[in-house]
Structure 1
């Protein structure tokens, strides 16, 4: 169950936590048909491998969400994780996807409310230096942790990842 807690199993099935088991089963069946390994016979190995990986991911999500007891346990773990967060993080944004404003020396990203998120060049440099010193922890995928940035208008926050200032500024 630990591996599953890292991924949003509802998102894997393209569903929401409020959907019934019947609705989840329907979404599972559609996805399983789309990415079943038999559909990729004769395809290039990378496409077949990608399909198999997706199929296994969908299968694992269904195994947990399709059973009432394991779904309840997963939902409780998910809720506990949400309660540990200090801010309501809306999404992950990569620094290279943000807009650079050379006049203000900030990276900006628009919020859905019309406001915006901003990270100064100084904050990026500090985070980059921290990463280079090895102060920053790495995740399993080798991605370095980023920072949570609040919208200047509403209560939403985004997780800004990817402090690669050397590449962005070159």
Structure 2
């Protein structure tokens, strides 16, 4: 439905992901008034063209972020895209060194800031079952990059592919 574009839609509106719909609406209205083609008059100039382009960009961002469902989808896609990027990884953590929480079905590892790194059993299963892509060679290890729930640190959680992965049910 909504595809994550190269531009951050929140940045287009001069807002942040934590802003409410009312705050986003306020930013949208300010920018729409500023760049609306009717306010620019009939002059055809490069300045007018860039203003119209900006107006269309602002309007497209508002259409996605104003609806709760499309905003949630955009946020999820954006987060997934961020996780695929090359993050500066603080360290490598082996899955067997993490603590298993049966109730939450999640592996946890404490961060030095007091937060924690979480990997769900589903993430481990999905990554373990994932077939290598064309540019990847078959490896004996699998892993995921996980961000701390409190700070900006991330770790690479890894496990052996052909050993018994400790996904407890």
Give the TM-score normalised by structure 1: 0.49
Structure number with greater Rg is: 2
More helix by share: 1
